[in-house]
Amino acid sequence: MIEDWKHFLLPYQQAVDELKVKLRGMRKQFQDQSAHSPIEFVTGRVKPVESIQEKMVRRHVQEDRLEQDMQDIAGLRIMCQFVEDIYQVVDLLRERTDITIIEERDYITNVKPSGYRSYHIVIEYPVQLVTGEKRILAEIQVRTLAMNFWATVEHSLNYKYQGEFPEAMATRLKTAAEAAFKLDEEMSEIREDIQEAQQLFSHGRGAEWTK
Ligand code: 0O2
């Protein structure tokens, strides 16, 4: 039995904090070069204990296998404007020497039955503790703003219906997921124009709204 969850989760919190800084740093570097940043914003969280315990039951994960078998205790999300940006971010992550990619799951090409789209990357990341180095797993979800909107709404509804959507709701959500993806496709079509306009705006009177 894990008696002290706070102690168990401490390295995960440290990894999330460090990775948020590093990923946000990537955005700053693009801005510094006055280039389009494929990263719009970054969020992170440590999975709440209740949610870990619920997933342990659902996925039959034993407590002594938690560190190896639950890959998303530390979670990062990278939001992008365009689908093309997602693949650029993935390439940038593959180049990094401070993380090791363990697994990639492309739920953009392989859409989940729910309608969910995102690119998931499971990484191994070394955190430096006073007791030495600890390599922990973290999941980075890379998605467009439209995918994020859909996933956020669906996640709340999932909570309300406890995963058992009435059929009409499930159908509507799938339709909404396709509509969100259609928006992504439309935006991709006019991407060059949008990026040109954004460059002009950022050099002019556009203030940077930071997150
Ligand atoms: P939370 O609240 O986001 O932390 P499983 O959880 O069993 O489906 P697995 O194999 O652990 O899947 O990993 P997967 O599918 O790569 O990633 C799971 C996470 O992806 C979820 O975490 C969600 O964040 C997101 N996700 C996957 N499928 C869906 C979906 O249909 N709808 C939404 N909104 N998000 C999804 P958790 O554990 O659900 O929790």
CB of 141 closer than 8 Å to CB of 117: no
Burial class (CB in 10 A: 0-12, 13-18, 19+), 32: exposed
Residue nearest to atom 21 of ligand 1 (CA): 72
Q: What is the mean pLDDT of residues 5-33?
A: 97
| Ligand 1: centre distance to CA 150 (Å) | 13
| Ligand 1: centre distance to CA 120 (Å) | 10
ipTM of the complex: 0.92
Does a structural domain hold residue 209? no
pLDDT digits (tens, 9 = 90+) for 144-153: 999 999 999 9
Q: Enumerate residues lining ligand 1, CB below 6 A.
A: 47, 51, 55, 59, 72, 75, 105, 112, 114, 116, 120, 151, 154-155
Locus of tokens 């002290």: 4
Catalytic residue among 139, 154, 189, 192: 139
- Residue 15: CATH number of its domain: 3.30.460.10
Query: What region does 104 belong to: left with phi over 0, alpha with psi -120 to 50, or beta?
Result: beta
Counting the structural domains of the chain, the total is 1
Q: Is 50 considered catalytic here? A: no
User: pLDDT confidence of 155, banded at 50, 70, 90?
Assistant: very high
pLDDT at 204 over 70: no
Enclosing domain of residue 67: 5-203
* pLDDT for position 162: 87
pLDDT digits (tens, 9 = 90+) for 69-121: 999 999 999 999 999 999 999 999 999 999 999 999 999 999 999 999 999 99
Single out the residue of 33, 40, 22 nearest to residue 97, CA to CA: 22
